[in-house]
Amino acid sequence: MDQWQELEAKYFMRTFSRVPLTFVRGQGAHLWDADGKEYLDFVSGWAVDSLGHCHPAVVKAVQEQVATLIQTSNQYYTVPQVQLAELLVKNSALDRVFFCNSGAEANEGAAKLARRYGEQFLNGAYEIVTTLGSFHGRTLMMVAATGQQRHQQLYAPLPNGFVNVAFNDIDAIRAATTERTCAVMLEPIQGEGGVNVPDAGYLKAVREWCDERGILLILDEIQTGIGRCGSLFAYQQFGIVPDIITLAKGIASGLPIGAFLATERASVFQPGEHGSTFGGNPVMCAAAYATLSYILEQGLVAHAAAMGERLVRGLLALKTKYPVVGEVRGRGLLLAVEFDREIGQDMLDGCLTAGLLVNRVKPNAIRLMPPLNVTPEEVDAGLAILDRVLAETTL
């Protein structure tokens, strides 16, 4: 343990079970720890660093903005947030945006918007149907939305207004819909829950059900959005248009910003009904604008799709070589590899020693989410390390 880890243990709340590494520098898909050891980063700050670490386009945008104007409050207009709003709206099927600071806050805002919609159009309906195994954030309300007992038990009593039903089960959503329901909220692919991809017809069926009942469909694209799954938004791959989407992780390549977008019909907030002190901060918006413009101009969405296919091909080859490897699943550069036994932690540890960062998403699965601009060489280098570690781990 280095001195920073000892000091952390002394001063921090005990919320994080951290990997014993202290990072001091990053560049592209590479990180360096306090001892100068280099790592290939297939975690990307939890699918956050879309352009890798310290991308020059993001660094330049932040440096320029931070030296020009940092914060004014939302009583006034600032340029970067309007530019970012236009870019997001023009490249999505949604019409209006609200900026906040994190994913949980984006989901809170979306839930509040759905309640306003229910109040105005659905006789005061307020309940939101969400799914088991989902992850929607850490605020008390999002703990209620997140269908995971281990998060919920700790914080009873939870706020009212959420019903958790099985994922990938349209009948469960139908059965849970009542006069009180104003919306269904889902991740198009469950991220923290283990990279769970629903059956082909599921999201379409949910969309049709929401239309039939006149309720809103909220897609939590906080992890799946901004090119991560090989399309700018994951909903595009499922042939549907949601009423509301929430975004955060990948928008600004590492700077904290969240957003939710809604269609015109669902954009029912009136002045004063929602707000944020820091949301839409010019520096975060400049970083997000730089990230998103770069992704669009450089064709990084298609690149991410191609790199995802390359990674999957390599992982399937490993599956042939090592019987311990089970399902390889996900879309684009949001992938999980499942094993037939609980070697997730051993794989993570082995990869660390060999210089590759992966996430242990379940006891028997690891998750891979390299930056969108990862190169073919870096993908192959990651695969070579996984090959070696699999050999050692399953000896």
Ligand X SMILES: *Cc1c(COP(=O)(O)O)cnc(C)c1O
- Name the residues annotated as catalytic: 135, 220, 249
Burial class (CB in 10 A: 0-12, 13-18, 19+), 183: buried
Place of tokens 């996984």: 386
108 binds ligand X (CB under 6 A): no
Question: In this chain, which of 248, 251, 255, 352 binds ligand X, going by CB under 6 A?
Answer: 248
| Angle (CA) 180 262 168, round 5° | 60
By the rule CB under 6 A, 104 interacts with ligand X? yes
Q: By CB under 6 A, which span of 15-23, 116-124, 177-185, 219-227 interacts with ligand X?
A: 219-227
Q: Which is nearer to ligand X, 99 or 389 (CB)?
A: 99
Considering the rule CB under 6 A, would residue 192 count as an interface residue with ligand X? yes
CB nearer to ligand X: give 53 or 367. Answer: 367
Does residue 253 belong to the site contacting ligand X (CB under 6 A)?
Answer: no
Total number of residues that touch ligand X (CB under 6 A)? 15
Assess 26 for contact with ligand X (CB under 6 A).
no
**Residue 99 in the binding site for ligand X (CB under 6 A):** no
Q: Minimum CB separation from ligand X for residue 224, in Å?
A: 7
Closest by Cα among 274, 224, 216 to 247: 224
Of 48 and 325, the one with the shorter C-beta distance to ligand X is 48
> Nearer Cβ to ligand X, position 61 or 334?
334
Is position 250 an interface residue for ligand X (rule: CB under 6 A)?
no
Q: Tokens in use for 208?
A: 């049709």
> Pairing between strand 181-186 and 127-131?
parallel
Q: Does 49 bind ligand X (CB under 6 A)?
A: no
Residues engaged in binding ligand X (CB under 6 A): 102-104, 107, 135-137, 187, 191-192, 220, 222-223, 248-249
